[in-house]
Amino acid sequence: MRADVRTRLITVLVSIGLTAGVSSCTTSTPGSAVAGASSSTTQAVKQTPSTTSPSPTQPATATSASTSAAAAPAPSGPAGGGTQVTSYPGIFVGSWVGHGRQLVVNANGSAKATYRAYVFCSQNPTPPCDQMIGNQIVAGGQVTLHVEQVVTAHHMSTATAIVLTSSDPKIGPGSTQTLVLSGDVVTWTKFDTFCDSKAEQNGACGA
């Protein structure tokens, strides 16, 4: 009788122990799986390279700089002392003077030179000769011209002019005259020099 009771008691205890073991395994396994999955996910996140696109600020700035450089205007003047040719008087326009002479150049290309001959017609009527009208001396040299072309190079401008009318046989109508402007002085190659007001004060175009 006692042996039978002891056997039953052992059987019950074994059953209880097995049940507890199974419950323990069943309870811990999901937790362990979740923890393992979480750990694997974390490692995957850490090891996965970033796919975020780089900031567009730098490429946009570079493109803008390139566009600005391309849009920058090129130098307008001829490089290295180049040559410029025009059909208008430009820099020659104005009044140029010398001792007893004057050259006036207009924007439309017309020009007139007036100068003393220092010989009165009453003394020698051969032109050009000066005249005395009342108390005024009328210069005998009267030449009208038209500026056809101006060439500028190496800081000098050279005008080519055609004589329209002339009282001086040495400067005949239809002849070509050359005027060279260097600094403040115009040199009429077949005649004389003419100055602007600054050069005149310095005596550059004296007698």
DSSP assignment of 131-170 equals EEETTEEEPSEEEEEEEEEEEEETTEEEEEEEEEEES-TT
**Which DSSP category does 76 fall into?**
-
What pTM was computed for the model? Answer: 0.59
Yes or no: say if 205 and 186 are a contact pair by the CB < 8 Å rule.
no
Is the four-CA dihedral 179, 103, 195, 183 of positive or negative sign? negative
Q: What is the pLDDT of residue 129?
A: 96
Q: Is 49 exposed, middle or buried (0-12, 13-18, 19+ CB in 10 A)?
A: exposed
| pLDDT 10s digits, 170-193 | 999 999 999 999 989 999 988 899
Distance CA 200, CA 207 (A): 11
**Which DSSP category does 48 fall into?**
S
Joined tokens for residue 32: 């362990």
Q: What is the pLDDT of residue 38?
A: 41
Q: Determine the Cα angle at 182 with ends 108 and 199, to 5°.
A: 95
Q: What is the pLDDT of residue 202?
A: 81
Distance CA 172, CA 166 (A): 6
Q: What is the pLDDT of residue 203?
A: 83
Query: Could you report the average pLDDT of every consecutive run of 10 residues in the chain (207 residues)?
Result: 54 49 42 40 41 43 36 35 86 94 96 96 95 94 97 92 96 96 92 90 79
Distance CA 83, CA 140 (A): 38
Distance CA 142, CA 128 (A): 8
* Number of other residues whose CB lies within 10 A of the CB of residue 20: 10
Q: What residues does 150 pair with on adjacent strands?
A: 86, 159
Q: What is the pLDDT of residue 81?
A: 57
Q: What is the pLDDT of residue 33?
A: 38
Q: Determine the Cα angle at 181 with ends 177 and 183, to 5°.
A: 165
Q: What is the pLDDT of residue 148?
A: 96
Joined tokens for residue 12: 């019950």
